Amino acid sequence: MQNIILFDQPEIHQSLLPLTFTRPIADLRIGILTIREKWELCLPGS
């Protein structure tokens, strides 16, 4: 299994307030899936 680490850039995190007060950017929903779930679909086995 491959591990992939995604980093949140502070300036992007600040621009998404107040949504990012309670969760990381990867856990925000874009449509039915979270950003994390979309990356998992694009990178199988990670």
* Amino acid residing at 19: L
Query: What does pTM read for this prediction?
Result: 0.72
At 44, is the pLDDT very low, low, confident or very high (cuts 50, 70, 90)? confident
Q: What pLDDT score does 31 carry? A: 96
Interval 5-37: pLDDT, tens: 888 888 888 899 999 899 999 999 999 999 999
Q: What pLDDT score does 4 carry? A: 77
